[in-house]
Chains A and B, each alone.
Chain A
Amino acid sequence: MTIPARPLISVEGLARRFGNTGPAVFEDIWFGVERGEFCCLIGHSGCGKTTILNVLAGLDAPSGGAVIVDNREIDGPSLDRAVIFQGHALLPWLTVLGNIAFAVASRWPSWDRAKVRAHAMTFIELVGLKGAENKRPAQLSGGMKQRVGIARALSIQPKMLLMDEPFSALDALTRGMLQEEVLRLCNETHQTVFMITHDVDEAILLADKIVLMTNGPGARIAEIVVNTMPRAERHRNDLHRHPQYYAIRNHLVEFLVNRSRNFDAEIAGQGYDPRRLRVVKPGLAAVNPPAEVVSLGLSR
């Protein structure tokens, strides 16, 4: 018997309860994130999304289940899993360079100052903040602060990035620019990313795989939506012109508006196995219409 290869991140039977035996916020959560994949988790507030991310980051402990990363169960935070926090979480008494150098020096304690500085500078340039390296976070705009947060996370060259609604505090224009930047950075670095969002368009733009989570309490993973739009075809400005876009978007919105509330009724009587989730590709239905529809059109 061969054991199937685990994905890079494997969430196995994760549960979180109020207290030790109280009602579950979520339970029996199973999903995986492959190496190099961009995975988004979508769900309403209160379903436990942030808790799942914090467990992945090692900042929080689950009530049950485990997270396996690289075939090892995680038991705490690690430099292999960089976190981009919702509120950027920069240290306000350090400059931009100081914030990133703090992370770099934590990753490679034996490096001398010059090497740390040079390494930090390359990541400041990568996110387009060259010239602002000596500014304090208070002197930066919200978008620039989040860029520093991204640079800090990337600078330690982690195996994966964990992002907790990283753009939700930004205005629409800045958010769009940063989303594209993140897409570019992930393409360049082949980074594995797990991101939490409740923005449907953000998920379609960035994610290869979208995990849908139902409402809490007792939240679970409903299904997994594969984003069949290739990364190269995803651009913020003409996303809505892509033939698959509306099919995927409608599927996600339909889930968030209706199905996330009534998912228990939906699966009643049907076989729902949290370990074998339904994988749907709503985008393909739009570009490959079912055969009978095509023949109907021809016969007319």
Chain B
Amino acid sequence: MKASLGLRAGLLSLLIFAAIVLVWQIAARPTAVSGPAVDPEYAKLVGAAAATGQKSAMPTPADIGATIWKHLQDPFYVRGSNDKGIGIQLAYSLGRVLLGFFLAAIAAVPLGFLIGMSPLVHRALDPFIQVLKPVSPLAWMPLALYTIKDSAVSSIFVIFICSVWPMLINTAFGVASVRKEWLNVARTLEVGPLRTAFRVILPAAAPTIMTGMRISIGIAWLVIVAAEMLVGGTGIGYFVWNEWNNLSIANIVTAILLIGVVGLLLDQVLARLTKLVTYPE
């Protein structure tokens, strides 16, 4: 009897995971160094333990596991401005992403509606969109810092500017491609423009709009790490940079894994919402 595809795929995933962990463990195992390997003066400077290099800076999977466990046990501690739990750092980043994302949605959906409905507005705004869309969101950072003069708000602005484009373009496309016959139904029923917008065009374009939002939140989550590395202070991006300065690879790997998991969750939430508004034809 053949096991189900899901089961077999799960087994294969576990196998791959085990292989990676094994190779990693072997590669990162402590190398025994005979005698002092470094200049004695340097050894005096940095301390014997560090200088003898009993342990590589690269942690083993077991070290990572221990670090993750340590972080998960107390994710929300605050011990001074430079020592906060990883949960708090993630919460800062999430808060910025969600705030920037929602501000972008508030701006992009109505504007996208306008572009989708009016060929004139579409033609008029198209050059701006085409030029500004490919700009890396981080390129806006200096401009934002100069004009806003607040690093936290600047990072939210960067999130705003990077998540606005997919939503804007998808909303415009979704609205412009609403089936003519549905609009004709609304016209023959003498439905007013506002009611047509909310009862016909919005539900018809909702799956496309939601797809744009899903792309946006993915990009926003990518960008926030880089933005926080630049502005510093708080957030998971700052945490990663700070741990790089501490040369704590285990903490960095932990952060990478958590960034991945949170990104996955964000994507899944948007996927669920998209499914809710999708209609079969």
Q: Which residues from chain B contact A76 at a C-beta distance below 8 Å?
A: 187
Chain B contact patch, size range: 10 to 19
From residue 168 to 209 of chain B, which have CB atoms closer than 8 A to chain A? 181-182, 184-185, 187-191, 195, 199-200, 203-204, 206
- Distance in Å: Cβ of A145 to nearest Cβ of chain B: 11
Which chain B residues lie closer than 8 Å to A79 at the CB level? Answer: 188-190
**Is the CB of B39 closer than 8 A to any CB of chain A?**
no
Contact across chains for A58 and B279 when beta carbons are under 8 A apart: no
Closest beta carbon of chain A to B190's beta carbon, Å: 5
A92 touches B280 (CB 8 A): yes
Of A62-70, A102-110, A166-174, the one with at least 4 CB within 8 A of chain B: A102-110
Interface residues on A, range: 20 to 34
| In contact, A85 and B190 (Cβ under 8 angstroms) | no
B185 interface neighbour in A89, A93, A107, Cβ under 8 Å: A89
Name B241-275 residues within 8 Å CB distance of A. Answer: none
Interface residues as binary, A130-164 with B (CB distance below 8 Å gives 1, 0 otherwise):
00000010100000000000000000100000000
Complex Cα gap A143–B200 (Å) = 24
> In the complex, what distance in Å separates the CA atom of A91 from the CA atom of B204?
8
Asked if A13 lies at the interface with its beta carbon under 8 angstroms from chain B, I say no
Known contacts A79-B190, A91-B200; A138/B281 CB under 8 A: yes
Q: Mark out the residues of chain A between 83 and 99 whose CB falls within 8 Å of any chain B CB in the assembled complex.
A: 83, 85, 87, 89, 91-93
Supposing A85-B181, A89-B184, A138-B279 touch, asked if A156 and B203 sit within 8 A by C-beta, the answer is no
- Chain A residues with Cβ below 8 Å from B199 are 102
Of A81, A87, A89, which is in contact with the most chain B CB atoms at under 10 Å from its CB? A89
| Interface secondary structure of B, over-half rule | helix
Contacts of B281 in A (CB 8 A): 92, 138
- Say yes or no: B190 contacts A77, CB within 8 Å: yes
- Measured CA separation A79–B191 after assembly (Å): 10
Q: How far is the CA of A58 from the CA of B184 in the complex (A)?
A: 10
Cβ–Cβ contact B191 & A106, under 8 A: yes
Q: Least Cβ distance of A92 to chain B in Å?
A: 5
**Nearest-CB distance from A88 to chain B (Å)?**
9
Are A93 and B188 closer than 8 Å at their CB atoms? Answer: no
Is residue A33 contacting chain B, with contact meaning CB distance below 8 A? no
Q: Are B189 and A106 in contact (CB under 8 A)?
A: yes
CB closest chain-A residue, reference B200: A91
If A93-B203, A93-B204 touch, whether A138 touches B185 (CB-CB below 8 Å) is no
Q: Can you offer 10 A-B residue contacts whose CB atoms are under 8 A?
A: A57-B184, A77-B190, A83-B184, A85-B185, A89-B185, A91-B204, A92-B279, A103-B189, A106-B189, A106-B190
Extra 7 A-B pairs, beta carbons < 8 Å, given A57-B184, A77-B188, A107-B189:
A59-B187, A77-B189, A83-B188, A87-B181, A91-B204, A93-B277, A138-B279
